[in-house]
Structures are given as structure tokens and as C-alpha cells.
Structure 1
Amino acid sequence: MLQRCRWVTSGMLSQELIDYHDKEYSRPVHDEQLAFEYLVMELFQSGLSWQTVLKKRVALKEDFANNDIARVAAFGTDDIATLMQDPRIIRNRRKIEAVIHNARIIVNWHADGRRFIDFLWSFTEGKSVDIGPEDGEKLPASTTLSKEVSAALKDAGFSFTGPVVVESLLQAVGIHNGHDQGCAWHHLMTK
């Protein structure tokens, strides 16, 4: 039987969690829309379990225009009110407003020929960094890199992108390979 990361196997397993770990987690992402989707999910995850967010992923994607950054950036007061009424998502007004706010910043970057995902990868010169813990160690909630990226995002005006949220994002897009050293998927990310 293949060994997975402890964070996957330490609680009640859900198919969403297993699929995310096996097919997405820490795989290098260079797609802008997928990077935005992970940003949305990580932002909503703040203070909650990742499994909770994965269960709401389909609804989040539907409610946030299939993660179309330009469409989300155009959301207004009526859209926020509609989102606050949808019981399928995490109805936190500050998080909803942060998603829209961050989308607007990314749209402005696009107008200047910049991409959010390229910005993230620029901190490691396009290389993945292995931070996977050894047996008995825990994956860090934040790192020097996540603090640096978080500060840069804050300087750019982003909301809800503290070091812990950013660390999870770095792992989601594969900038950090967070797979445990003994995880069967760890070696796939280090090639």
C-alpha cells in the first residue's frame, strides 16, 4: 500500500482529500486561472480544515465565475449579497470581499503584462523547493519564503494573504514540495 502524507491519513479520509493529495498537491502549476483558484481556496481555508474547503470547491468555483479572474474582479455589491446567501460556500463577507479585491489587483497586473503565477515563481527563479518533513517532523505553517511572498503581496495591496495562507498556496502550486519524505508522491515532485 502506498504511503501518503500524514496530513491526509491523520483524520477521517474523504475522497476529495485523497484525490487532491494524489493528483494536485505540490504539483508545479503555471496556469494563471488554476493559481487563482488555489488562492481563493487557501483564502477561504483560513481558520478551517482543508477538507472543509475541498468539499465546497465545486460551489466556490461556480460562485466565483469558474475562477475567471476578470469576471470576479467585476463583482459588485449585488454579487456579494448573492454570495452571502449561498449556504454551499463559506459565507464570510471579509473573505468574499478579499477574493474580489485580489482579483482586481491581478486584473491590473494583467493590464501591465504581469501574471500572478509568474510573480509567485519569481521568488525561487522557477524552481520547486523541497520542504517535505522527515518522519517525526511537522510541515511548517509558514516559512521564510512564505513570509517574504506575503510581505510582497501585502505591499501590492492583496488581502488575506498572510504567511500561513501563502505557505499553503506555495505548496498548492508546487513552489514548495510539502510531501512528507516518506510519501510515495514525494519523489514525483522532486524530478
Structure 2
Amino acid sequence: MYIYIIDDDDAVRESTELLLSTSSFEASIRTFASAEEFFAEDLLGHSGCILLDIRMPGMDGVEALKKITASDSNLVVVMISGHGDIPKAVETMKAGAFSFVEKPFSDTAITEIVTSALEQSEAQQEEAELRTHAVSAIDKLTPREKEVLDKLVLGLLNKVIAYELGISTRTVEVHRARIMEKLDVRSLPEMVRLCLLAEGKDKALAAN
């Protein structure tokens, strides 16, 4: 896990880094004076939290946020806003920011937000790993097994699947057993959940 602080204000960067480094976070902390400096290091593949200032010369926080969210990164972004930036901070929430904290922020406020952001990033990372596993498992199925799987997920009965595919009910049962074995699931609900994960449509269930 990583905590990245992106702010052109030297004092804010240094004080925030000091505060977080003396807290109980099990994460590496790095600071950047600009969004350009952060993106130059190709860190979007990491998991963790970014404390991102809204107003910076060059690429501002809103532009940086959009670039981060477009990358499908597991890094969770918390916007740092000045008093006059609250409307803009609310706008960034709609653009994918996890939360925002207003300057000057208290030690308690920033540590609580970072804690929540790291937990969110960890959950996203776990979901991504589950999705990768699901896709890999489904790829191991034969073309016919995938056809049967698609119809099972739709909730069709074995005899209906047999009719639609022009095969016997017994053959459907054999395919179903093999599919469940290859996917390492024990029930139809588990099978459906795995398929939804593979399609990226099961975020709520994956988090449970």
C-alpha cells in the first residue's frame, strides 16, 4: 500500500507527510510537488491513497483526478481543498474522488479519511483479483460449456437448455457438472456470481 501526497505547497506536503509517517499506517509515503511529477513515475498500478490538491499550477487536481479515474487504477483519491474550493471539491466527488478534506485540516480528520481510503483501495484490489480469477476460470471452458453456462446464468432449466442447444438433458447435466468443477463452485448462485465478477457487474457482492 502507498500514500501519495500531491500538493505544490511545500509546508502542506511536509507537515502531512510527517503526520502520516508517525501514524500507524502500514504504507509507504511519498510526496510530489505537481501532478506532472507524479504521473512521470508511472505509479497508477499501485494500490493505496492519493491526497490530491485541487489548485496547482500546470495540471490541476481536477485534471489529475480525471486521468487517474480513466486509468481504472486502484488508487483512491482524496481531494485537498481550500475554503473557497468547496463547490469544486463537490464536483470532483461526482468525477470519482473518494472524499475531500478542507484546509487547514486537523490531524484526526486526515488520518480518518486516509484510513477509509486505504480500506477502499484494498477492497478494490481484492475485487480486481477475484475478477481476474473469474475470467481465467471461464476461459478454461470449452465453447459448448460456455454456451451451457450462458443459459444456466439466465436461469434456464436443463431441459430447456437441451432443447435450445439440440442436445439431450443428460448431456446438459454432464456439461453442468464439468462447468462447476472447472469453475470450482458448488451451486448455481456461486456460478452466477463468478460470471458477474468476470463481467465486472458484481462489485457489491464481491465486497461481501
Shorter chain as normaliser: what TM range? under 0.3
Structure having the larger proportion of residues in strand: 2
**TM-score, with length taken from structure 2:** 0.22
TM-score (norm 1): 0.24
**Higher Cα Rg: structure 1 or 2?**
2
Higher relative contact order (CA 8 A, sep 6+): 1
